[in-house]
Structure 1
Amino acid sequence: MTPAAAAAGTASAGTGKLSLAGPTIVDSFGNVDYYTTVPGDTIVTVADAFGITEADLAQFNGLQSGTGLAPQTKLRLIPAAGPVPGARGTATLDADGIPTSYLIEANDTLGGITYRFGITEEQLAEANKVPYAYEKGNTYFVRAGNHIQLQKNPVDSRSGTGKIVTNSFGQAVFYTTVDGDSFDSLGYKFRSTTDQLLQYNPSLAAGQPIPAGVRLRLIPGDLKIDGAQGTFTVDADGIPATYTTAPGDTESRVSFRFGVSDLRSANRPLAGVDPVWYAFADTASGEFVPGQTISLALNMPMHK
């Protein structure tokens, strides 16, 4: 990350309520991690400006509450470097002191990680190019040994402005590239890793620029994956419309392959109490009975 020292008077760029006159250092999301005091600043005014408590500000900087602040004092606005409850692993810092990556330890929590590094769950997900960073059984995102990113790399300001084609669930399925697009910029925007973009788009090459005017696929689609090995049809825009199940297919994997957030709503029965009309070979695992043709589109539902 490039040096993040911000101009004076921009304290409100992060979580601040007021604008102070001193210079700030912000992370890649615009969160203010450090503030350098000017004459007249106090713990009270700085804490209020950045939306933290006086006690936290004092603790982060090893100060006593009520202590005066000398001009040119560089204050931390996130917890002091080192382990905290729920985030006891090792972090990497850049030259400005901004945390850039972190190695998760056993018993870490999502709340502990976001608190220690002064970022939100949404920002953590974006930095790692995933849709979300929720904890579910401590296995999805927060798992021991997982090396995670805490910041984004710089991207071209022109990136991400190309045409997006979505399915009926609002999921981006295709994107037409523009000058300035890169694997990082598209990954942050569409929450797809570089490996995924390469798999979904064989015409792309790792380490090579992405040409403008290329229609990229943002879902597996043509790429068969474990648990979604069947065939499908598309509409006039190339959006997946129907799917015929294969042995071993599961509801969750079919949904993932085609960017479907609510497969059941596209296949709801017109009568009865069952949530869907299609049949399962194993209800507990969500495995489909093979040979069924189901809808992949809310605007073209199938009712039985």
Structure 2
Amino acid sequence: MKSDPAEQTTADNLAGLKVLDSFGNVDFYTTAAGDTLAKVAAAFELSETKLAGFNKLPAGAPVRQGTKLRLIPPSGPVAGARGAAATDANGIPLSYVVADLDTLDGIAYRFGITEDQLAEANKVPYVHEQGNVYFLHPGRTIALQKKPVDPRSGKGQATSNSFGHAIYYTTVDGDSLDSLGYKFRRTTAQLLEYNPGLSVGSPLPAGTKVTLMPGEATVDGARGTFSRNADGVPLTYTTAAGDTERQVAFRFNLEPAELSAANRPKTAGPRTWYEFTSVPDGELAAGQTISLSGAKPITK
């Protein structure tokens, strides 16, 4: 017999004090009258055994009202996350120094965050692709939380390309480099590179159009020229020597598969019509004009 959903315990209907991190994850809970280990564990989708272990209690042990329970692993090394961490006065993990043989799974588990939240805290676009590139370097200090941002931020107008990826954003009051970085997964260094008129410490006036892709900022492997429509959305790109498919896609905030989709061959066979000088390296032949828009594909 299934239990009545109305009788199921959730975090929202627990009466005790909750200590949340910057993502809204509950890291600590202080028990209220009537709480038990089993009830708290169910509310936060933990096993009673795991919750008891986090708090060095025997499974099934009674808990007094006012007991502060830890909902993330105890401080200290775990498999896949053996480095040193810094916490705030409430015990919320703030930063972490990566150790040898660490894994993304281990780091996320130890600090009670998801890999996606880990990427957001560090303004990294793609956690799985960037895992070994950005995070897993012994000795690197990585953020585990976001900095506080103005609650008015992030409500401006974004302009997207044909694949739905934001490439420009028009600011509103309260926006900052940090708030845009967390929202669009762009580091401060990237935003400054893409927008030479911006600087750290200077305000972002409402109505500022911020570029979220390299675009005019050429990158290694994507040094060609491009055309755009009246809204500034890139339409076509002419390849230069040394360009690679991945870097061209990166410059215009596309995935390589999306770049291929915008350049479909008319007949079955190759996935795209444009030519490579080195297929294994993804190096493109120079002088080709290729589409950057799924709405205006080039078929040959």
TM-score, scaled to structure 1: 0.92
Query: What SS does the corresponding residue of 2:167 show, helix, strand or coil?
Result: strand
Residue 271 of structure 1 corresponds to 267
Residue 73 of structure 1 corresponds to 67
Residue 89 of structure 1 corresponds to 83
Q: CA deviation at 1:140?
A: 4.7
The one-letter code matched in structure 1 to 2:166 is: A
Residue 155 of structure 1 corresponds to 149
Structure 2 counterpart of 1:206, from 200, 209, 212: 200
Q: 2:229 aligned with 1:235, yes or no?
A: yes
Q: CA deviation at 1:293?
A: 0.5
Q: 2:189 aligned with 1:195, yes or no?
A: yes
- CA shift digits 1:218-268 (9 cap, x unpaired): 101011111000011001111111000001000000000011221000011
User: Quick check: 1:135–1:142 contact (8 Å CA) kept in 2?
Assistant: no
Structure 2 counterpart of 1:286, from 282, 288, 300: 282
The one-letter code matched in structure 2 to 1:169 is: F
Change (3 A) 1:223 1:139: closer
Structure 2 counterpart of 1:222, from 195, 216, 222: 216
Residue 4 of structure 2 corresponds to none
The answer to which structure has the higher helix fraction is: 2
Q: CA deviation at 1:94?
A: 0.6
User: Quick check: 1:92–1:99 contact (8 Å CA) kept in 2?
Assistant: yes
Change (3 A) 1:139 1:205: closer
Distance in 2, matches of 1:145 and 1:183, equals 26
Residue 110 of structure 2 corresponds to 116
Residue 159 of structure 2 corresponds to 165
Q: 2:251 aligned with 1:257, yes or no?
A: yes
Change (3 A) 1:181 1:139: closer
Change (3 A) 1:58 1:164: same
Unaligned runs of 5+ in 2: 1-8
The one-letter code matched in structure 1 to 2:211 is: R
Q: CA deviation at 1:39?
A: 2.5
Residue 241 of structure 2 corresponds to 247
Q: CA deviation at 1:17?
A: 4.9
Task: Using the TM superposition, name which of 215-224 and 143-152 deviates more.
Answer: 143-152
Task: Using the TM superposition, name which of 145-154 and 176-185 deviates more.
Answer: 145-154
Q: CA deviation at 1:57?
A: 0.7
Q: 2:25 aligned with 1:31, yes or no?
A: yes
User: Quick check: 1:234–1:242 contact (8 Å CA) kept in 2?
Assistant: yes
Distance in 2, matches of 1:132 and 1:224, equals 21
Aligned length: 290
Query: What SS does the corresponding residue of 1:57 show, helix, strand or coil?
Result: helix
User: Quick check: 1:37–1:70 contact (8 Å CA) kept in 2?
Assistant: yes
Q: CA deviation at 1:136?
A: 7.4
Distance in 1, matches of 2:223 and 2:268, equals 30
Distance in 2, matches of 1:160 and 1:41, equals 38
Residue 140 of structure 2 corresponds to 146
Change (3 A) 1:70 1:17: closer
Q: CA deviation at 1:18?
A: 5.4
Query: What SS does the corresponding residue of 2:135 show, helix, strand or coil?
Result: coil
Q: CA deviation at 1:16?
A: 4.7
User: Quick check: 1:134–1:141 contact (8 Å CA) kept in 2?
Assistant: no
Distance in 1, matches of 2:18 and 2:219, equals 47
The one-letter code matched in structure 2 to 1:292 is: Q
Residue 6 of structure 2 corresponds to none
- CA shift digits 1:16-39 (9 cap, x unpaired): 555211111010111000011123
Distance in 2, matches of 1:52 and 1:143, equals 31
Q: CA deviation at 1:153?
A: 0.8
TM-score, scaled to structure 2: 0.93
Q: 2:293 aligned with 1:302, yes or no?
A: no
User: Quick check: 1:250–1:288 contact (8 Å CA) kept in 2?
Assistant: yes
Change (3 A) 1:16 1:90: farther
User: Quick check: 1:182–1:210 contact (8 Å CA) kept in 2?
Assistant: yes
Unaligned runs of 5+ in 1: 1-14
Distance in 1, matches of 2:158 and 2:283, equals 32
Distance in 2, matches of 1:18 and 1:162, equals 31
Give the RMSD, CA atoms, in angstroms: 1.5
